[in-house]
Structure formats: C-alpha cells, structure tokens
Amino acid sequence: MFDEKKLWRERVNQRIKELARYSRYIFNGHIVIVLVFLLGTAAYYYQEWLKTVPEQFPAAAIMALVLGLLLTYSPISTFLSEADKIFLLPLESRLSGYFGKSIIVSFVIHAYLLFLGLGVFMPLYARVNDGDFKKYLPFLFGILIMKGINVFIRWNVQYIVENRVHIIDSCVRYAINIVFLFLLFSNAGIMYLIPEAILLVVLLLYYRKNTKNKSLKWEYLIELEERRMTSFYRLANLFTDVPKLRDSVKRRKWLDWVFGKLTFGQDQTFSHLYIRTFLRAGDYFGLFIRLTLICIVVMYFVSYGLGQAFVALLFIYLTGFQLIPLWNHHQNKLWIRLYPIDEKLKEKAFKRLLSQILYIQTLLLAVAVFTLGEGMAALITLIAGFGFAYFFIHMYISKRLNMK
C-alpha cells in the first residue's frame, strides 16, 4: 500500500545524506580558514564603511532592491527524480501531503536566508535611523508573511508551462515586493503595507483559479530539481569526484582564437585536451572568472596596500586549489588511455596550463590594484603572485599528483 509519508521521509533523508556527504569535502580545512578570513575582513570593512555613511543615505531603497530578490526568488524543492514521472504520475491525487511538506520545507529554508539577509542590512538601517535595532523582529515578521505568499504563488505558477508567464510573474512579484520593502524600511504605516499584500493575494487567487483543473507538470518539476542538484554537484566536483555529475560542454565560439594559436604535435595532445576542457567543459572557466571578479571587488574595499596583495594571494590559492579536479576530469574515459603517449606529458601539460591560468590571474589582479591607485602594492602583488604560483605548481601540485 502506498504511503506518501514514508516516501517523503525517504526522499528527505536521502537528500540530506547526499548533501552532507559532499559538504564534508567542500568545507574542508582550507576552505573554512579562507571563508573565516573573508567573512572577518568583510565584517570589519563593512563596519568601517558604516561610520562614513551619512544620515541621508538611501538605505531603504538599497535594502528593498537586494532583499526584494530574496523575497521574489522562491524555488520549491520537491525531491523528485526522473523515474517519478512514470511511477508516481498515477498517484498524483494522493500526493497533496507530500507536496505540502515540500512547500513548508522550502519556506523554512528561504525564511532562514531572509533572516540572515535582514541581519546583514540592519546595521545600515540603524545607521540612518538613530541606531534603531528594535524594528528587526517586526520587519522579519512582515517579510516572512510576504515570503509565504510568494512561495504559494510560485507553486501555482509551476502548473503553467509557458516560460513567458513565469518571467512576467517574477517581474510583477519583484516590483510589488520592492514597493512593500521600501515602505517597510521607510517606516510607513501598516495601512501603506496592506495594499501590497492584498495584490499578492489577488495574484495568488488568480493563479489558483486558472490552474484549478491543471495537472502537475512533472517534466518541469523534475528538470528544476535536477538543475538544482547539478549546480551542487558542480560545486562538489571542484573538491572531489562526483559520479552523478553529467558533463556539459559549452561552445564559447568567441574563444576559438585561443585554439588557433595552439601548436600541433604528438607532445601537445594533452595540452589541447586540457585547454579545451578548461574553456568549454564543466564550470572551470566560469570559476576562474568569478573568483577573479570577486577578488577585485574585495580589494576595492581593502584600502591597505599590503592587504590587497594578501587578498590577491588568497584568491590565487583558491583558484589553483579549486582547479585541481581538472586533472581527473577525463579519468573515466577509456579512449584517453589509448593514446600512445607518455603519461609524463599529461602531467606536464596540466601543470603548464595551471601555471598560465594563475599567471594571467596574477597579472589581472596586479592591474586592478594599480588601477585603484596603489602602484607599489601592484608591484608587490605581481612579484608575490608569480612567486606563489610557481611554488604552488612545482611544489604543492607536484606532490598532490604524485599522491594520486
């Protein structure tokens, strides 16, 4: 006999175990130390920046724009898998409790993110409102009510296939949420806040009426769930091998000029393979771009020259460390082993590519420091970055590859 409560428990426990399994590799000692340092640095400079904020600063508008994104973004975790559209489809009418629990769990997760987001912005609000922190709980209560309505709207919108409707819905809800949050953080009376909530309720009733006789879009829900897990697997794959991760290749035609400059020859086989893999497969190239941009943003807020150089070294290390999985990207492909090529050429090609990536990143970060007006710090960043990259490749990476 089918038991939807048992199915729910099994799916949730399976997901928790899977997330916990890979989280152990993600939040290892290296990353935890770096995260603690980055959070501590960000908190310090945020506190120092608040001292310079004038009372006329548009805190309400900024808080509304940023928190409005968290309020509008309301994905619902259903824990569905590919086989469910065959085996659970006939039982759809008996799964109301299952999906009800999914909505509740999703709301709790989003509520926690809003709790943290509001906590980050409250010092800014207090700065322009005479140090008033007492509004935190009333603000959180009002935001959570709106979040609940947003989650229910999102669930009903998922009964509609047209992507255009999804986009329009997100835009409309974001606009309503921004107005609500702006009035809330501007200390407007409750009579000014009720109309926005009523608009969302009307929108919810409209979607419920138009989807009343529609069935669940199983393919769409499963696709969303797989997309979320794929994003997590990509992150975990930077730290350990993830068998469930499906390889994805992106064309990136605008980078074809790079391949045109590669020399041909048997000794360049793995160079071609690794460069193409870095630029087109997985998320390696995107990781390099994101870490470089984040580092530049962090250095912008670090006014101390040597501090900027230290931040640059920290991100160079992060980039190199998280690109190590590139070495094993093709380990499960049999045709790689058929190459009549010395295995040492593979290690040489990988280390050469990683060296070039870290050297290019060092150069970009040094230019960024120079642009910020720190000439000596830029020179220190350049020299220290090249030296660190050389040591990282020829000492740390060589040792890691020999251990595999």
Segment 58-95, tens digit of pLDDT: 989 999 999 999 999 999 999 988 888 888 888 888 88
At residue 50, the pLDDT reads 86
Q: Is 6 helix (H, G, I), strand (E, B) or coil?
A: helix
pLDDT of residue 217: 87
Question: For residue 110, is pLDDT > 90?
Answer: yes
Vertex 338 angle, CA 336 and 344, to 5°: 70
Whether 238 has a pLDDT exceeding 80, the answer reads: no
CA atoms within 13 A on the CB side of 96: 2
CA distances from 5 to 8, 19, 80, 106, 109 (A): 5, 21, 14, 17, 20
Instruction: Report the distance separating Cα 363 and Cα 367, nearest Å.
Output: 6
User: Is residue 168 a contact partner of residue 207, using CB atoms and an 8 Å limit?
Assistant: no
In this structure, what are the phi and psi dihedrals at residue 249, rounded to the nearest 5 degrees?
-120, 130
User: What's the pLDDT at 154?
Assistant: 94
Provide the greatest CA pair distance for the chain. Answer: 77
Q: What is the pLDDT of residue 265?
A: 60
Report which of residues 153 and 30 the model is more confident about. Answer: 153
Percent of the chain predicted with pLDDT > 90? 28
pLDDT at residue 87, as a whole number:
84
CA 86/CA 215 separation, integer angstroms? 14
Mean pLDDT of 182-191: 90
Q: Which pLDDT belongs to residue 96?
A: 86
Report DSSP state, residue 73. -
pLDDT band at 43 (very low <50, low <70, confident <90, very high): confident
**What's the whole-number mean pLDDT along residues 356-379?**
87
How far apart are alpha carbons 392 and 395 in whole angstroms? 6
Asked if 174 and 64 count as a contact pair (C-beta separation under 8 A), the reply is no
Distances (CA, A) of 289 to 121, 279, 297, 365: 27, 11, 12, 12
In this prediction, residue 272 has a pLDDT band, given cuts at 50, 70 and 90, of low
Minimal CA–CA distance to 90: which of 174, 17, 169, 2? 2
Q: Tell me the C-alpha distance between 114 and 111, whole Å.
A: 5
First vs last Cα of the chain: how many Å apart? 49
Q: pLDDT confidence of 20, banded at 50, 70, 90?
A: confident
SS3 151: helix
pLDDT, tens digit (0-9, with 9 covering 90-100), for 293-343: 888 888 887 767 777 888 888 888 888 887 877 777 666 665 566 666 666
pLDDT at 362 over 90: yes
Helix 59-72 and helix 96-127: axis angle, to 10°? 170
Q: 307 in helix, strand or coil?
A: helix
- What is the model's pLDDT at position 263? 64
| Number of residues that make up the chain | 404
Q: Is the pLDDT of residue 220 over 70?
A: yes
For the entire predicted model, the pTM comes to: 0.73
Which residue type does 5 have? K
113 or 89, which is more confident: 113
The 3-state DSSP class for residue 46 equals helix
